[in-house]
A and B are shown apart, each in its own frame.
Chain A
Amino acid sequence: MISITRDVIDTGTMIEAAKRPGMGALVTFCGVVRDDGVERMELEVYEEVAVRELETIRDEAMRKYPIESVDIVHRVGSLFVGETILLVIVGAGHRKEAFAASEYIIDRLKRTVPIWKKEFGRDGEERWVPGEPGDQTSSPPPG
């Protein structure tokens, strides 16, 4: 499943749903709101493009690694410290390729999926989290 959601991500249910008989390993990556003086953050998305980009990343990972499944759910809206921002689940026969694919997916997602975060500090400060340097979006190169 690939989705953008405004609801709480139910990690346990999603992992159970991803299981298939041929899988010996499910590697999950869970991105969480970290407390570095932050009370909450707001995530914003260009939804049509983000969903399409997540599907492209899933398809690339499936071609690149011998894995059986990729699920990605990204939350947007207002999130507090400790809440799950992102869940990536990679199912595979064996752990090695599942770990590698999981890392590939999260690295790629951070560079190209149009989602932004604004942090609201306990001191009342508001701050946009700077974007990742790199190629941004998979379509034509910057010009």
Chain B
Amino acid sequence: MKVRVKAFARFREILGSDLPIEVPDGATMATVLAALRDRAGDRGTAIFDEGGALQAHVILMRNGKRVKRGDLDTLAEGDEIAIFPPVAGG
């Protein structure tokens, strides 16, 4: 199945702005993060630490709602995942 990943600000420059990602049925946020880690490669240090875990400041959303990084819920076809750094509007 396909999910969409939207990345913003510095993370957009690393990952691209709007990515369709193919994941197996039963995939969770961890599956998507693994795909993003591969995609980011050497440029991913703003997002992932040396061990491959998300940096503390990274924010994740699923369909516009904040989710915890360890969220184990199964994703659904067409889900929109967002990944971004701390906000700086105003």
Contact = CB atoms under 8 A, between A and B. Distances in A.
B58 to A, nearest CB: 9
A88 B8 CA distance: 24
A111 B86 CA distance: 8
Interface of A: 31, 43-46, 48-50, 52, 74, 85-86, 106, 109-118, 128-133, 136-137, 139-140, 142-143
Grouping DSSP codes into helix (H, G, I), strand (E, B) and loop, the A interface class, with mixed when no group exceeds half, is mixed
Contacts of A110: 87-90
Contacts, number: 91
Category for how many chain B residues contact A: 20 to 34
Given A117-B89, A128-B10, A131-B88, A46 B82 contact: yes
A139 to B, nearest CB: 4
Nearest to B71: A143
Interface string B9-24: 1101000000000000
Contacts of A112: 87
Contact of A133 (B9, B66, B86): B86
24 contacts: A43-B89, A44-B9, A44-B12, A46-B8, A49-B61, A50-B89, A112-B87, A113-B87, A114-B8, A114-B84, A114-B89, A116-B84, A116-B85, A116-B89, A128-B10, A129-B88, A131-B85, A131-B87, A131-B88, A132-B86, A136-B66, A137-B66, A140-B68, A142-B69
Contacts of B86: 130-133, 136
Contacts of B26: none
Interface string B45-86: 000000000000101010011111111000000000010111
B64 A74 contact: no
A106 B90 contact: yes
A132 B57 CA distance: 11
B59 to A, nearest CB: 6
A74 B69 contact: no
Contact of B87 (A86, A116, A143): A116
